[in-house]
Structure 1
Amino acid sequence: MAAIFDIEDVIPHRGTMLLVDRVIDWSDDAVTVELRVPAESPFHVEDGVPAWVGVEYMAQAVACWAGCQARLQDLPPPIGFLLGTRRYECSVPVFASGSLLRVEARRELMGDNGLGVFACRILAGDDRGREIATANVSVFEPPDALAYMESES
């Protein structure tokens, strides 16, 4: 079994923009993270967090996967970019405050150029593990993210 790292050791997000709580499991090709939908968040609406935030939950799961891979090489978590999603489908309009969610991301493709595609899904964290959302998430992890951002400005 792979070592389970603390969340802040594998993802560069901090403060209110750190939306996932912990890594449950990860491998060369996949990661599973967990979160409890907070009642206090920058995205909170009347009953919880809008379903569209699920895309960011998925992107942060992918970031955790990349961070776990980096930690194996004693490197800090890399900075990556969410390029987009395809076929995001969600069966709920809002993730209810206090609900437990499990987010899974499985690598479908990761090129030497830093472009990747992950098949993702969000499951209810209860005993039933009902699938709530699915999507394909496209990401980009440049070799030197800071230099890349400076060159694009």
Structure 2
Amino acid sequence: MRELYDIERVVPHRGTMRLVDRLVDWDEDTVAVELRVPEEGPFSHAEGVPAWVGVEYMAQTIAAWAGCHARAAGREPSIGFLLGTRRYESRTSWFPAGTVLRVEAIRELLGDNGLGMFRCRILGEGEELATANVSVFEPPDAMAYLESTQE
């Protein structure tokens, strides 16, 4: 049986930049997390959180998937990079504060070079609110990769 890790053990984001609250499920190809849209935070407004932040919700969900796989293999989660999105569509402009969202990601492709693409969606009260294809990159050694880009 897969362990449902504490979200802080699988997502590297900390403080107000960790936007997802709880790992709900994960397996070889899929992951689901939940979050409560905050009333206060770096993206909060009177209307709630803008729907474009959904891209980061999706990216952190993918980070949780990668972190679960790393933990299951006895490794620490690594830093990954959001490369971009395709076809981000939202049926709302805002996620109202207090709303519980479920974010799901399905691995569509993951290369040996660390490049991957996930099909993602955000649900609120069982209704699909946003969808996108999200491209990510997880280098074998994130720190060495970051240092090489500084030269």
Q: Which residue number corresponds to residue 144 of structure 1?
A: 141
Q: What percentage of aligned pairs have identical amino acids?
A: 67
The whole-number CA distance in structure 2 between the counterparts of 1:130 and 1:2 is: 27
Aligned to 1:81: 81
Between the two proteins, the alignment pairs up a number of residues equal to 150
- Cα distance in 2 between the residues matched to 1:20 and 1:34: 6
1:78-114 deviations in Å (ceiling 9; x for gaps):
1000000000000010000000000000000000000
TM value normalised by structure 1: 0.97
Q: CA deviation at 1:146?
A: 0.6
Structure 1 residue ranges, 4+ long, deviating more than 2 angstroms after superposition:
none
Aligned to 2:64: 64
Secondary structure, aligned partner of 2:78:
coil
What is the match of residue 97 of structure 2?
97
Q: Which amino acid aligns with 1:35?
A: L
Q: Which deviations, in whole Å up to 9, do the C-alpha atoms of 1:25-72 show, x marking residues without a partner? A: 000000000000000110011210000000000000000000000001
For the residues of structure 2 that align with 1:78 and 1:121, how far apart are their CA atoms? 23
Distance 2:118 2:78 in 1: 17
Structure 1 vs Structure 2 CA RMSD: 0.6
Residue matched to 1:17: 17
Partner Cα separation in structure 2 for residue 22 and residue 60 of structure 1: 11
Alignment gaps of 5+ in structure 2? none
Q: Give the superposition deviation at 1:24.
A: 0.2
Matched residue, 1:131: 128
Distance in 2 separating the partners of 1:76 and 1:2? 17
